[in-house]
Amino acid sequence: MRVWIVFLLCLAGRAMAAPTEEESVVEELVTEDPVVEEPELGVNPVQVEIGEFDEAIEVDEDVAAENPCLEYHCKKGKVCEVDESNSPMCVCQDPSSCAAAEGEFEHICGTDNKTYDTSCHFFATKCTLDGTKKGHKLHLDYIGPCKYIEPCLDNELGEFPLRMRDWLKNVLVTLYERDEDNNLLTEKQKLRVQKIYENEKRLQAGDHSLDLLAHDFEKNYNMYIFPVHWQFGQLDQHPVDGYLTHTELAPLRAPLIPMEHCTTRFFEQCDSDNDKYIALEEWANCFGIKEQDVDKDLII
Ligand SMILES: [Ca+2]
Ligand SMILES: [Ca+2]
């Protein structure tokens, strides 16, 4: 299996618009910056084909005098209208007013196992269900049309973190290599990644067998500690509190599900205390990081 990665996924921290609602949002993953070419990182679990999943900022104080809606932003699924007193307000968007999808990659599979034409259709539909039980339970499940996802077997579940860890490390190294012009990493992050990058024992990106990945994790365990923390920090943004909500995890999870059938099960079992949040300790444990190496100060 050879999968191409758009590593913009991992720039999520940089690109995320501030979402205002806990549920239903995959944050914006694609900035308007020129897109960096896709690096080939070998066998990796992630491919990202992201459209626009940004949650617009709910309210902008700067309301234009003439058309109060001009500068008034509504979150995804809502549009601005003025009331009798010419004050702007957000109302649910009519799904039929959404532009049609330009391709399958814009489709969204909801947790109701229904394919929505675009994220606009999805969020508009969800908005119309606000306040209902059905609406409360409806989330964006993954990107692409709904399809049969085979059950994840126990032995397959164990393979998932092997590929994921390797991928995270490779993404960081690639970001480091390209950092000169792009400022993709902070100075502190660069120092951390430099150590990995310059380590000659580092397993180069490639199409590695699971045995080799497992062996490398054992042998070069230290190289994996930072990448696992880094990804957590990229996702833990709204709010930055050491816990990942379903929504915060979505930028990683939603593009992954159609390609890695163990994604859902993996992240479900990550939440070992079943409180619906993935704490840093739970996250690190999922990726095989030892308890004594979990360090919130590594999220820099
Ligand atoms: Ca959080
Ligand atoms: Ca938990």
**Ligand nearest the Cα atom of residue 246:** 1
Give the pLDDT band of residue 182 (cuts 50, 70, 90): low
Least reliable range by pLDDT among 23-37, 204-218, 234-248: 23-37
Measured from the alpha carbon of residue 286, the closest ligand is: 2
Kindly give the distance from the C-alpha atom of residue 282 to the centroid of ligand 2, in angstroms, as a whole number.
Answer: 7
Classify 110 as helix, strand or coil.
strand
Q: Residue 35 to residues 4, 9, 16, 30, 177: CA-CA distances in angstroms?
A: 15, 12, 15, 8, 16
**pTM (predicted TM-score):** 0.71
Express each pLDDT in 27-45 by its tens digit. 333 333 333 333 333 333 3
Helix (H, G, I), strand (E, B) or coil at 271: coil
For residue 68, how far is its CA from the centre of ligand 1 (angstroms)?
33
Q: Find the mean pLDDT for residues 273-277.
A: 94
Length of the chain as a residue count: 300
- Structural domains in the chain plus CATH codes: 4-52+150-299 (1.10.238.10), 61-143 (3.30.60.30)
Query: How many angstroms separate the alpha carbon of residue 252 from the centre of ligand 2?
Result: 17
User: pLDDT band at residue 300, thresholds of 50, 70 and 90?
Assistant: confident
Is residue 144 left, alpha or beta, with left meaning phi > 0 and alpha meaning psi from -120 to 50?
left
| Pairwise CA distance, residues 216 & 226, whole Å | 15
Reply yes or no on whether the pLDDT at 11 is more than 80. no
